[in-house]
Amino acid sequence: MTVSDNKNKDVYNPSKGILDKANIRGYEKLYQQSIKNPEAFWAGIAKELNWYKPWKKVLEWKYPFAKWFVDGKTNIVANAVDRHLTTFRRNKIAIIWEGENNETKTLSYYALNREVSKFANVLKAAGIKKGDRVTIYMPRIPEQVIAMLATAKIGAIHSVVYGGFSVEALHARIIDSASKVVITADGGYMNNKIVQLKSITDEAVKRSPSVETVIVVKRIGHDINMESGRDYWYHDLMNLPIASPKCETEVMDAEDPLYILYTSGTTGAPKGVVHTIGGYMTYIYATMKYVFDIKEEDRWWCTADPGWVTGHSYIVYAPLMLGTTSIMYEGSPTYPYPDRWWSIVEKYGVNVLYTTPTGIRSLMRFGELWVNRRDLSSLRLLGTVGEPINPEAWRWYYRVIGKEKCPIMDTWWQTETGGFMITPLPETPLRPGSAAKPFFGIVADVVDEKGRPVSPNMEGSLIIKKPWPGMLRTIYRDPERYKKVYWEKIPGNVYTTGDSAKKDEDGYIWIIGRQDDVIKVSGYRLGTAEIESALVSHPAVAEAAAIGKPHEIKGTAIKVFVVLRTGFSASDDLMDELRSHVAKELGPIAKPEEIQFVDSLPKTRSGKIMRRLLKARELGMPEGDISTLEE
């Protein structure tokens, strides 16, 4: 990704209107205060939220394990739902949902509370208790959010698995979390096709002994397999007398887990990132309030899926905690036409839009006419996340969508960080392609492999030097891996992000991309090892190596090198078959863009595949140090 643009000093300043109304101003001074005394800063934010019992200590840091708001008692649902019920927000719209086929559903905070409470009682009746794990594998429908909130309300732990994942990915996540209940749907609509969520669930659950109950939302209404004694329709359960709309919200410790969210790492096994309640809720509340400058009357739309951390934090929890009206769209951005997103902005009068560089690039290619036939004048602020945004896409987003009046918040963060870490504020002079500066309380730097800060504009590793409330607490059931992956890669007891970046002379941070064996395809995070292990599970494949390669729309696309087993020969048919095989194992997002059949893979003398070398050769770049190459 090119970052040479920082040399041009191409700067975009916010209008007076944006500045005058901003929820916060004076970053430089406030930032200094926040890092000088982070505990006072975070306690100030946490006091804006409801606690059943106050904390005794803001932070207890025993490297690399943090506890925030020690001994505080709360529940995120008490803040996202319950507390609005005694104010005018009781009748405010919490969620506006639009289905791919134009259906609309709205839920006021009052109605949301009823649904959540009813389903919480259903989960209790299914034997779910505080601390139990619940897997949610659903399309983007309101029941997905209701299921998350109901789980959190009774103190259980949700593990949401993105509805675009396939059998193996779902299975691995159910097994690792040992979930008792899986909540799914009979299918989902995506780009006018039906995603067969229930048959994938059946395959995965068959080999998951922990699962006692599967709850199925009827979204499509087609014939599916329902296993008696295990599978129940959501609507049937919600009509039983046990599904009372009254349910006490469980009093939780600030450090009780809220959810597990699996993400790709450098080995084949996904990592269960654990977030706890008190620090996480405080962190996402503050970031959303200040970065997206949320006003009482705003309509907020985050185009992500609740199955990713972006959706957890900024579709479900933070918008609801702020009492915002949050929009949720089920389907594809191009169905039935490439103006679908813009039609939603127009239809609901969206004020703040948060999306991805891939989303922008993929709609850019349809041209401006599709945008200009829609009224986007309600927009005030824009946002992007998930991968570096190239300056060309940034400028298009700014000019064509924002009509040169909406600042773009390029927010850098990770599943592990809970919320935005490097980000502009509405007042920040923007430089296309830079995520600007660290959020309040965040101490970030760009360093070399020994942990020494690199000079301005030099590439290095992005690290975080101090704990923050939204940080992951551990990897589920694997604290050793947590320590090794995040805290021991770079000396100095710092958190390693796995990203490389540059910092310019003004302190603006420019994210370059992943340094490890993680590939960001359309903003989705995939491990090379996951893709490779999906490939070698095919009978024709002996060995495989995956690399990321620049792609005009996806940012990065997957290319794989495959060594065939004897008896198999390379052909176009086999290539297609392998691509479908990966899609079937992991999900369509993991489908390789390119497959190249090779006789052997470059390896180190210890037998490790040198992906770095494959990538350098593929891109025509210098090969670097190849002294450990076997031949």
> Which residues would be at the binding site for ligand WT7 (CB under 6 A)?
263, 309-310, 385-388, 410-415, 435, 497-499, 511, 514, 520, 525
Q: How far is the CB of 308 from ligand WT7 (least distance, A)?
A: 6
Q: How far is the CB of 497 from ligand WT7 (least distance, A)?
A: 6
Phi-psi region of 219 (alpha: psi -120 to 50; beta: other; left: phi over 0): alpha
Judged by CB, which is closer to ligand WT7: 437, or 520?
A: 520
Q: Report the C-alpha gap between 549 and 61 in whole angstroms.
A: 40
Judged by CB, which is closer to ligand WT7: 161, or 511?
A: 511
Q: How far is the CB of 477 from ligand WT7 (least distance, A)?
A: 20
Judged by CB, which is closer to ligand WT7: 187, or 388?
A: 388
Judged by CB, which is closer to ligand WT7: 462, or 574?
A: 462
The first and second tokens of residue 592, run together, are: 């390789």
Q: Would you give the distance in Å from CA 541 to the centre of its chain?
A: 32
Q: DSSP assignment, residue 92?
A: S
Q: Would you give the distance in Å from CA 98 to the centre of its chain?
A: 21
Q: How far is the CB of 21 from ligand WT7 (least distance, A)?
A: 24
3-class DSSP state for residue 404?
coil
The first and second tokens of residue 125, run together, are: 């009746």
Residue nearest to ligand WT7 (CB): 415
Which has the closest alpha carbon to 333: 311, 300, 303, 302? 303
Q: Report the C-alpha gap between 577 and 152 in whole angstroms.
A: 41
Q: How far is the CB of 226 from ligand WT7 (least distance, A)?
A: 34
The first and second tokens of residue 66, run together, are: 């943090």
Kindly compute the dihedral angle of the four CA atoms of residues 315, 586, 173, 611, in this order, to the nearest 10 degrees: -100
Half-sphere exposure of 47 (CA within 13 A, CB side): 7
Tell me if 465 sits within 8 A of 472, measured CB to CB.
Answer: no
Judged by CB, which is closer to ligand WT7: 168, or 499?
A: 499
- Residue identified by tokens 């029941």 is 143
Q: Judging by DSSP bridges, how do beta strands 381-384 and 352-355 pair with one another? A: parallel
Q: Report the C-alpha gap between 611 and 548 in whole angstroms.
A: 10
Q: Report the C-alpha gap between 424 and 383 in whole angstroms.
A: 10
Judged by CB, which is closer to ligand WT7: 163, or 498?
A: 498
The first and second tokens of residue 10, run together, are: 């191409």
Q: Report the C-alpha gap between 182 and 215 in whole angstroms.
A: 6
Judged by CB, which is closer to ligand WT7: 59, or 360?
A: 360
Q: How far is the CB of 519 from ligand WT7 (least distance, A)?
A: 10
Distances (CA, A) of 263 to 268, 386, 415, 529: 11, 13, 7, 13
Judged by CB, which is closer to ligand WT7: 188, or 498?
A: 498
Judged by CB, which is closer to ligand WT7: 151, or 310?
A: 310
Q: How far is the CB of 244 from ligand WT7 (least distance, A)?
A: 37
Phi-psi region of 355 (alpha: psi -120 to 50; beta: other; left: phi over 0): beta
Q: How far is the CB of 397 from ligand WT7 (least distance, A)?
A: 13
Q: How far is the CB of 10 from ligand WT7 (least distance, A)?
A: 17
Judged by CB, which is closer to ligand WT7: 273, or 578?
A: 273
Q: How far is the CB of 511 from ligand WT7 (least distance, A)?
A: 4
